[in-house]
Amino acid sequence: MIRFIRARSRIITSLAMPFFWLIFIGVGFGSVVTEMNYINFLAPGIIGMIILFTSIFSGMSIIWDRQFGFLKEILVAPVSRSSIMLGKVLGGATIAVVSALIMILITILIGFIPISIGIVPAVIFMILTAMCFVSIGLIIASKMKSMEGFQMVMSFLIMPVFFLSGALFPLENTPQWMQTIAYFDPLTYGIDGLRASLISHSIFPLWLDLAALLLFSTVLVLIGACVFRRM
Protein backbone atom coordinates (compact mmCIF):
# COMPACT_ATOMS: atom_id res chain seq x y z
CA MET A 1 0.00 0.00 0.00
CA ILE A 2 2.87 2.39 0.80
CA ARG A 3 4.49 1.57 -2.53
CA PHE A 4 1.18 2.18 -4.34
CA ILE A 5 0.59 5.55 -2.64
CA ARG A 6 4.11 6.72 -3.45
CA ALA A 7 3.73 5.81 -7.13
CA ARG A 8 1.50 8.74 -8.08
CA SER A 9 2.02 8.15 -11.80
CA ARG A 10 0.68 4.61 -11.34
CA ILE A 11 -2.48 5.93 -9.68
CA ILE A 12 -3.06 8.53 -12.41
CA THR A 13 -2.48 6.14 -15.31
CA SER A 14 -4.70 3.44 -13.76
CA LEU A 15 -7.58 5.94 -13.75
CA ALA A 16 -6.83 7.94 -16.91
CA MET A 17 -7.50 5.22 -19.50
CA PRO A 18 -10.83 4.05 -17.96
CA PHE A 19 -11.91 7.70 -17.66
CA PHE A 20 -11.24 8.29 -21.36
CA TRP A 21 -13.14 5.11 -22.19
CA LEU A 22 -16.06 6.37 -20.13
CA ILE A 23 -16.15 9.78 -21.80
CA PHE A 24 -15.41 8.94 -25.43
CA ILE A 25 -17.15 5.58 -25.71
CA GLY A 26 -20.02 6.76 -23.53
CA VAL A 27 -20.63 9.87 -25.63
CA GLY A 28 -19.97 8.10 -28.94
CA PHE A 29 -22.17 5.05 -28.35
CA GLY A 30 -24.68 7.17 -26.46
CA SER A 31 -25.45 9.02 -29.67
CA VAL A 32 -26.40 5.70 -31.27
CA VAL A 33 -28.15 3.96 -28.35
CA THR A 34 -31.29 5.98 -27.73
CA GLU A 35 -33.42 3.65 -25.59
CA MET A 36 -31.33 4.21 -22.44
CA ASN A 37 -28.84 6.59 -20.83
CA TYR A 38 -25.75 4.83 -22.13
CA ILE A 39 -23.18 6.68 -20.00
CA ASN A 40 -25.05 5.67 -16.83
CA PHE A 41 -25.09 2.09 -18.13
CA LEU A 42 -21.39 2.21 -19.02
CA ALA A 43 -20.10 3.69 -15.74
CA PRO A 44 -20.32 0.42 -13.69
CA GLY A 45 -18.67 -1.41 -16.57
CA ILE A 46 -15.72 0.99 -16.51
CA ILE A 47 -15.44 0.55 -12.74
CA GLY A 48 -15.28 -3.19 -13.38
CA MET A 49 -12.58 -2.53 -15.98
CA ILE A 50 -10.42 -0.75 -13.37
CA ILE A 51 -10.82 -3.67 -10.97
CA LEU A 52 -9.95 -6.21 -13.69
CA PHE A 53 -6.79 -4.46 -14.91
CA THR A 54 -5.51 -3.46 -11.47
CA SER A 55 -6.21 -6.86 -9.93
CA ILE A 56 -4.89 -9.18 -12.57
CA PHE A 57 -1.65 -7.26 -13.11
CA SER A 58 -0.91 -7.36 -9.38
CA GLY A 59 0.34 -10.87 -10.10
CA MET A 60 3.48 -9.26 -11.54
CA SER A 61 4.70 -8.80 -7.96
CA ILE A 62 5.40 -12.55 -7.83
CA ILE A 63 7.67 -12.34 -10.87
CA TRP A 64 9.50 -9.31 -9.46
CA ASP A 65 9.95 -11.09 -6.13
CA ARG A 66 11.29 -14.18 -7.89
CA GLN A 67 13.76 -12.22 -10.03
CA PHE A 68 15.18 -10.32 -7.06
CA GLY A 69 15.30 -13.37 -4.79
CA PHE A 70 12.75 -11.99 -2.34
CA LEU A 71 10.26 -14.77 -3.09
CA LYS A 72 12.68 -17.38 -1.72
CA GLU A 73 12.93 -15.50 1.54
CA ILE A 74 9.14 -15.36 1.79
CA LEU A 75 8.66 -19.06 1.00
CA VAL A 76 11.19 -20.23 3.62
CA ALA A 77 9.67 -18.02 6.32
CA PRO A 78 7.96 -19.89 9.20
CA VAL A 79 4.43 -19.08 7.99
CA SER A 80 2.04 -21.13 5.92
CA ARG A 81 2.13 -20.56 2.19
CA SER A 82 -1.66 -20.26 2.22
CA SER A 83 -1.20 -17.20 4.43
CA ILE A 84 1.25 -15.74 1.92
CA MET A 85 -1.24 -16.30 -0.90
CA LEU A 86 -4.11 -14.77 1.09
CA GLY A 87 -1.97 -11.77 2.01
CA LYS A 88 -1.09 -11.19 -1.65
CA VAL A 89 -4.76 -11.51 -2.63
CA LEU A 90 -5.98 -9.08 0.04
CA GLY A 91 -3.22 -6.58 -0.75
CA GLY A 92 -3.93 -6.60 -4.49
CA ALA A 93 -7.69 -6.49 -3.92
CA THR A 94 -7.34 -3.49 -1.59
CA ILE A 95 -5.43 -1.50 -4.21
CA ALA A 96 -8.00 -2.40 -6.89
CA VAL A 97 -10.94 -1.42 -4.70
CA VAL A 98 -9.33 1.90 -3.71
CA SER A 99 -8.79 2.72 -7.40
CA ALA A 100 -12.41 1.79 -8.18
CA LEU A 101 -13.71 3.93 -5.30
CA ILE A 102 -11.82 6.92 -6.68
CA MET A 103 -13.54 6.39 -10.05
CA ILE A 104 -16.93 6.06 -8.34
CA LEU A 105 -16.32 9.39 -6.62
CA ILE A 106 -15.43 10.98 -9.98
CA THR A 107 -18.56 9.60 -11.68
CA ILE A 108 -20.73 10.83 -8.80
CA LEU A 109 -19.21 14.31 -9.02
CA ILE A 110 -19.78 14.40 -12.79
CA GLY A 111 -23.33 13.11 -12.36
CA PHE A 112 -23.05 9.75 -14.11
CA ILE A 113 -23.96 7.78 -10.97
CA PRO A 114 -26.42 8.99 -8.31
CA ILE A 115 -25.48 9.05 -4.63
CA SER A 116 -27.32 6.20 -2.90
CA ILE A 117 -27.03 3.51 -0.25
CA GLY A 118 -26.22 1.15 -3.15
CA ILE A 119 -22.56 2.12 -2.81
CA VAL A 120 -22.35 -0.21 0.23
CA PRO A 121 -23.26 -3.45 -1.63
CA ALA A 122 -21.21 -2.15 -4.59
CA VAL A 123 -18.09 -2.22 -2.38
CA ILE A 124 -18.81 -5.86 -1.51
CA PHE A 125 -19.05 -6.75 -5.19
CA MET A 126 -15.83 -4.86 -5.91
CA ILE A 127 -13.95 -6.74 -3.17
CA LEU A 128 -15.11 -10.16 -4.37
CA THR A 129 -14.42 -9.34 -8.03
CA ALA A 130 -10.95 -8.07 -7.16
CA MET A 131 -10.18 -11.21 -5.14
CA CYS A 132 -11.15 -13.37 -8.14
CA PHE A 133 -8.81 -11.64 -10.57
CA VAL A 134 -5.93 -11.09 -8.15
CA SER A 135 -6.03 -14.85 -7.57
CA ILE A 136 -6.00 -15.52 -11.33
CA GLY A 137 -3.07 -13.15 -11.78
CA LEU A 138 -1.10 -14.78 -8.95
CA ILE A 139 -1.82 -18.31 -10.18
CA ILE A 140 -0.58 -17.50 -13.68
CA ALA A 141 2.40 -15.45 -12.45
CA SER A 142 3.54 -18.28 -10.18
CA LYS A 143 4.02 -20.43 -13.31
CA MET A 144 5.78 -17.74 -15.36
CA LYS A 145 9.50 -16.96 -15.40
CA SER A 146 9.58 -13.66 -17.31
CA MET A 147 7.66 -10.40 -17.17
CA GLU A 148 7.25 -10.40 -20.95
CA GLY A 149 5.60 -13.82 -20.97
CA PHE A 150 3.21 -12.80 -18.19
CA GLN A 151 2.20 -9.63 -20.03
CA MET A 152 1.53 -11.56 -23.24
CA VAL A 153 -0.68 -14.08 -21.44
CA MET A 154 -2.53 -11.30 -19.62
CA SER A 155 -3.08 -9.33 -22.82
CA PHE A 156 -4.57 -12.44 -24.41
CA LEU A 157 -6.80 -13.11 -21.39
CA ILE A 158 -8.01 -9.66 -20.37
CA MET A 159 -9.79 -8.52 -23.53
CA PRO A 160 -12.11 -11.56 -23.90
CA VAL A 161 -12.90 -11.44 -20.16
CA PHE A 162 -13.72 -7.73 -20.39
CA PHE A 163 -15.79 -7.77 -23.58
CA LEU A 164 -17.75 -10.92 -22.64
CA SER A 165 -18.74 -9.44 -19.28
CA GLY A 166 -21.32 -7.07 -20.73
CA ALA A 167 -19.35 -4.04 -19.58
CA LEU A 168 -19.92 -2.19 -22.86
CA PHE A 169 -23.26 -3.59 -24.05
CA PRO A 170 -26.33 -5.36 -22.62
CA LEU A 171 -25.73 -9.11 -22.60
CA GLU A 172 -29.40 -9.85 -23.11
CA ASN A 173 -29.13 -8.47 -26.66
CA THR A 174 -26.25 -10.78 -27.63
CA PRO A 175 -26.47 -14.24 -29.28
CA GLN A 176 -27.15 -17.19 -27.02
CA TRP A 177 -23.66 -18.70 -27.47
CA MET A 178 -22.09 -15.47 -26.24
CA GLN A 179 -24.39 -15.36 -23.22
CA THR A 180 -23.47 -18.96 -22.38
CA ILE A 181 -19.74 -18.14 -22.40
CA ALA A 182 -20.39 -15.01 -20.32
CA TYR A 183 -21.92 -17.14 -17.55
CA PHE A 184 -18.43 -18.55 -16.85
CA ASP A 185 -16.86 -15.09 -16.59
CA PRO A 186 -16.58 -13.81 -12.98
CA LEU A 187 -16.54 -10.22 -14.24
CA THR A 188 -20.05 -10.71 -15.66
CA TYR A 189 -21.47 -11.13 -12.18
CA GLY A 190 -19.28 -8.39 -10.73
CA ILE A 191 -20.44 -5.77 -13.24
CA ASP A 192 -24.05 -6.97 -13.05
CA GLY A 193 -23.93 -6.62 -9.26
CA LEU A 194 -22.41 -3.14 -9.58
CA ARG A 195 -25.16 -2.08 -11.99
CA ALA A 196 -27.84 -3.46 -9.71
CA SER A 197 -26.37 -1.60 -6.73
CA LEU A 198 -25.52 1.72 -8.39
CA ILE A 199 -28.13 2.26 -11.12
CA SER A 200 -30.78 -0.43 -10.35
CA HIS A 201 -30.28 -2.24 -13.66
CA SER A 202 -29.30 -5.92 -13.81
CA ILE A 203 -29.75 -9.17 -15.70
CA PHE A 204 -29.49 -11.58 -12.78
CA PRO A 205 -30.96 -11.35 -9.26
CA LEU A 206 -28.61 -9.67 -6.80
CA TRP A 207 -28.32 -12.84 -4.70
CA LEU A 208 -27.20 -14.82 -7.77
CA ASP A 209 -24.44 -12.29 -8.55
CA LEU A 210 -23.26 -12.45 -4.94
CA ALA A 211 -23.38 -16.26 -4.78
CA ALA A 212 -21.50 -16.65 -8.08
CA LEU A 213 -18.73 -14.26 -6.99
CA LEU A 214 -18.41 -15.96 -3.61
CA LEU A 215 -18.03 -19.32 -5.38
CA PHE A 216 -15.51 -18.01 -7.92
CA SER A 217 -13.41 -16.17 -5.33
CA THR A 218 -13.36 -19.12 -2.90
CA VAL A 219 -12.37 -21.64 -5.57
CA LEU A 220 -9.69 -19.38 -7.09
CA VAL A 221 -8.14 -18.53 -3.71
CA LEU A 222 -8.01 -22.24 -2.83
CA ILE A 223 -6.38 -23.05 -6.18
CA GLY A 224 -3.88 -20.27 -5.59
CA ALA A 225 -3.09 -21.64 -2.12
CA CYS A 226 -2.45 -25.10 -3.62
CA VAL A 227 -0.15 -23.61 -6.26
CA PHE A 228 1.81 -21.72 -3.61
CA ARG A 229 2.18 -24.83 -1.46
CA ARG A 230 3.79 -26.62 -4.41
CA MET A 231 6.25 -23.81 -5.23
What are the boundaries of each domain within the chain? 2-229
Q: Which residues of the chain have pLDDT under 50?
A: 34
Instruction: Work out the number of other CB atoms within 10 angstroms of the CB of residue 203.
Output: 18
pTM of the prediction? 0.85
CB–CB of 137/59 below 8 Å? yes
Exposed/middle/buried for 122, CB within 10 Å: 0-12, 13-18, 19+?
Answer: buried
For residue 10, what pLDDT is reported? 64
* Helix, strand, coil percent values for the chain (each to nearest 5): 80, 0, 20
pLDDT for the residue 28: 67
Per DSSP, the residues of 110-139 read HTSS---TTHHHHHHHHHHHHHHHHHHHHH
User: What pLDDT was estimated at residue 32?
Assistant: 58
